[in-house]
Amino acid sequence: MELISRDFWWPQMWKTMKDYVTTCDTCSKSKIPCHRPYGLLQPLPIPETPWTSISMDFIVDFPKSKSFDSVFVVVDHLTKMANFVPCNKTITGKETTRLFLENVYKYHGLPDDIISDHGTQFTSKFWQSLFKILQMKINLSSAYHPQTDGQIEQVNQVLE
């Protein structure tokens, strides 16, 4: 800042310089990390049979089509087969359960575990009690952790 201000000046020069330095690729590579080293990725185990481990997610805000504006996406971890079910953005936990029973359970049976994000449809009391009654395991993913829900995010990008 000092070197540039010797010869140049413009309004909000300090902000411009700060923005430049924080987005500079060379600057960010030369910084010493202030956090502990990241742990090793721990990929999910490979299921032995189809539809015993699945991922679920919603893609919302599509243009309306036959009164639907969203898609419920379910992906099998072993075969990578995906089910796309039209729905609305305002779907509740009970409605999500109905979609799951009619479009996944009906054709593929009950999975051993389900991976999903922290969407309200998957964290509702109704959905949690259903998992408890059925003795199913739910794995809620954390944001930006591709080792848990990267597969469904990749399928979502293809669909979008």
Determine the Cα–Cα distance for residues 18 and 126; give it in Å rounded to an integer: 49
Question: Which pLDDT score, from 0 to 100, does residue 94 have?
Answer: 79
**Parallel/antiparallel/unpaired status of strands 53-59 and 113-116:** parallel
Question: Which pLDDT score, from 0 to 100, does residue 76 have?
Answer: 94
The answer to whether 97 touches 124, Cβ cutoff 8 Å, is no
Q: Could you give the domains of the chain?
A: 53-159 (3.30.420.10)
- pLDDT tens string, the chain, 160 residues long: the values are 888 888 888 999 889 888 888 888 877 777 676 777 777 767 778 899 999 998 888 888 888 989 999 999 999 999 999 999 999 998 887 788 888 889 998 999 988 888 877 666 666 666 777 777 777 766 666 555 454 556 767 777 777 7
Residue 143 CB neighbours (<10 A): 7
Question: Which pLDDT score, from 0 to 100, does residue 75 have?
Answer: 92
If residue 62 lies in a helix (H) or strand (E), which one and from where to where?
none
- Output the six-digit token pair for 134: 């059925």
